[in-house]
């Protein structure tokens, strides 16, 4: 620090500047995860740093800037670590997580396969408002659809002929993908085009055909894009050329196979956004092509979360019915034993009540008061009946699960994966708010909600 002494500026060391050895160690960031086999907590920032070092910029634009952020595809309640663990286990249970990854590192929602690099301006549109989603391309989703259908048929055959309790984890959906994940292509699907690039703004996407030799990108060129007719289209360089839809793009990254973006996670993310968007705004805000892509992704998710039961009169059905009958028989025997024990207790109490008592009515009044105060035998029997009925209620709940429609079952899974928080309605000066389903109902369109379903 400097001070003036006798008209001269003298610089002296400041005594209140702490030395390095007196500083407290930095606190661990709250959003950390502990990887399997590691004794140290790894911060969320360090995971983002590693991801930014191997990805060539934003997932779509491929632009490497200081404003890149880490985006989750499946994002449970971030402050509830127990819920995040349960969500990760549920993804493993349906067979869309590679078992090699699960057995070696242990899967968690901070794994690279659930993360993408995303620009800070696109992140809130992707995560907070649900303005757009990333999807596997139409050809890639056709390949996924074929894989899920074939693996579901194989699982159904196993349930019918061998074991009716075979887990959906045994489908090994990721291991069944014949193609290399590096060959998968992806598309951007815009749900609210007016809010993605309003006022005719342009989005620059780095041209992957140009080479960056010395890491300074001297020869890098960019593709100019803009939202036209509810689609992200390439602005033509010649005025007489019609703008074309931006083609499917590959993920430009140096990730290993297990760390590459999981295409099933992209389908789940898009399906959740599509379902919530249709309930709130309907499907009229997006183009028919994008709507068809979302429907195909929703079909894949529906097949992933399908519930399998053995076919009637099959070995699996007979085996399951036999086990259920044995279970009910054991339950009936337990109920009979409880009833016999209660009957013996009632006989013992009746003998005590009719036996000799102390003269006078005081003891009888006390016994009667105690019997009423503690509920007597009737309340005890009621409590026993309530406890015995709890098991039957659980059985009825399991039976009701089979009657839940597949669409409602998938919606319940989406609530588990993403929580009950809905995507916020974007508000932008100069851009009218998108009309919700309830707004259209208030104006007389009473079938708007049915169409949104």
Same-domain check for residues 200 and 259: yes
Same-domain check for residues 389 and 434: no
Q: pLDDT at position 20, please?
A: 37
Residue 435 has pLDDT above 90, yes or no: no
Which pLDDT band holds residue 392 (cuts at 50, 70, 90)?
A: very low
Same-domain check for residues 228 and 304: yes
Token code pair at residue 194: 């007016």
Same-domain check for residues 151 and 191: yes
Domain range spanning residue 60? 44-309+410-452
Same-domain check for residues 167 and 275: yes
Q: How far apart are the C-alpha atoms of 117 and 63, rounded to whole Å?
A: 10
Closest CA to 197 of 205, 186, 208, 209: 205
Count of the separate structural domains present in the chain = 2
Same-domain check for residues 106 and 173: yes
| Least reliable range by pLDDT among 96-100, 168-172, 303-307, 329-333 | 329-333
Q: How far apart are the C-alpha atoms of 147 and 145, rounded to whole Å?
A: 5
5 in any annotated domain? no
**Mean pLDDT, all residues of the chain:** 76
Residue 308 has pLDDT above 60, yes or no: yes
Same-domain check for residues 154 and 287: yes
Contact yes or no for 63/223 (Cβ under 8 A): no
Which pLDDT band holds residue 32 (cuts at 50, 70, 90)?
A: very low
Same-domain check for residues 291 and 333: no
Q: What is the mean pLDDT of residues 447-451?
A: 52
| Least reliable range by pLDDT among 28-32, 94-98, 436-440, 445-449 | 28-32
| Least reliable range by pLDDT among 334-348, 413-427, 436-450 | 436-450
Residue 320 has pLDDT above 70, yes or no: yes
Which pLDDT band holds residue 156 (cuts at 50, 70, 90)?
A: very high
Q: How far apart are the C-alpha atoms of 107 and 91, rounded to whole Å?
A: 9
353 in any annotated domain? no
- The more confidently predicted of residues 367 and 199 is 199
264 in any annotated domain? yes
Which pLDDT band holds residue 139 (cuts at 50, 70, 90)?
A: very high
Q: What is the mean pLDDT of residues 239-256?
A: 90
Residue 158 has pLDDT above 90, yes or no: yes
Contacts of 350 (CB under 8 A, 6+ apart): none
298 in any annotated domain? yes
271 in any annotated domain? yes
Same-domain check for residues 397 and 414: no
pTM equals 0.72
39 in any annotated domain? no
Q: pLDDT at position 428, please?
A: 75
What separation in angstroms does the CA of 75 have from each of 123, 415, 419? 13, 11, 8
- The more confidently predicted of residues 44 and 201 is 201
Same-domain check for residues 344 and 223: no
Query: Residue ranges of the alpha helices (H) in 1-114?
Result: 44-54, 81-93, 99-104
Same-domain check for residues 209 and 267: yes
Same-domain check for residues 254 and 325: no
36 in any annotated domain? no
35 in any annotated domain? no
Residue 270 has pLDDT above 70, yes or no: yes
* Range from 66-80, 179-193, 407-421 that averages highest in pLDDT: 179-193
């Amino acid at each position: 620090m400097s001070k003036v002494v006798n008209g001269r500026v003298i610089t002296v060391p400041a005594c209140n500047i702490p030395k390095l050895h007196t500083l407290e160690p930095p606190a661990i960031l709250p959003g950390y995860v502990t990887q399997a086999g590691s004794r140290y907590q790894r911060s969320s920032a360090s995971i983002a740093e590693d991801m930014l070092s191997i990805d060539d910029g934003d997932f779509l634009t491929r632009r490497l800037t200081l404003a890149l952020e880490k985006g989750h595809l499946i994002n449970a309640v971030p402050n509830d670590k127990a819920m995040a663990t349960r969500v990760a286990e549920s993804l493993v249970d349906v067979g869309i997580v590679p078992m090699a990854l699960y057995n070696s590192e242990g899967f968690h929602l901070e794994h690279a396969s659930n993360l993408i690099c995303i620009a800070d301006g696109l992140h809130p549109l992707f995560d907070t408002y649900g303005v757009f989603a990333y999807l596997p391309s139409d050809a890639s989703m056709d390949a996924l659809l074929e894989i899920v259908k074939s693996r579901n048929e194989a699982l159904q055959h196993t349930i019918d002929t061998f074991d009716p309790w075979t887990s959906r984890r045994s489908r090994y959906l990721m291991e069944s993908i014949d193609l290399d994940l590096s060959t998968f292509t992806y598309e951007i699907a815009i749900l609210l085009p007016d809010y993605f690039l309003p006022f005719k703004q342009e989005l620059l996407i780095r041209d992957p055909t140009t080479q960056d030799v010395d890491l300074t990108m001297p020869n890098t060129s960019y593709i100019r894009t803009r939202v036209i007719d509810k689609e992200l289209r390439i602005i033509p360089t010649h005025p007489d050329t019609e703008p074309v839809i931006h083609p499917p793009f590959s993920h430009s990254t140096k990730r290993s196979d297990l760390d590459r973006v999981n295409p099933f996670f992209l389908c789940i993310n898009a399906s959740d956004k599509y379902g919530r968007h249709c309930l709130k705004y309907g499907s009229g805000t997006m183009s028919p092509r994008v709507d068809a892509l979302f429907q195909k992704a929703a079909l894949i998710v529906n097949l992933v979360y399908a519930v399998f039961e053995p076919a009637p009169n099959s070995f699996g059905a007979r085996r399951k019915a036999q086990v259920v009958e044995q279970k009910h028989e054991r339950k009936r025997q337990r109920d009979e034993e409880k009833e016999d024990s209660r009957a013996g207790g009632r006989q013992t109490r009746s003998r005590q009540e009719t036996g000799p008592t102390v003269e006078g009515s005081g003891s009888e009044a006390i016994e009667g008061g105690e019997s009423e105060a503690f509920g007597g035998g009737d309340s005890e029997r009621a409590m026993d009946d309530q406890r015995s009925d709890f098991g039957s209620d659980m059985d009825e709940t399991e039976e009701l699960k089979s009657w839940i429609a597949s669409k409602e079952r998938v919606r319940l899974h989406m609530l588990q994966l993403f929580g009950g928080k809905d995507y916020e309605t974007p508000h932008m000066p100069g851009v009218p708010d998108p009309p919700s389903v309830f707004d259209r109902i208030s104006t007389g369109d009473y079938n708007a909600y049915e169409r949104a379903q």
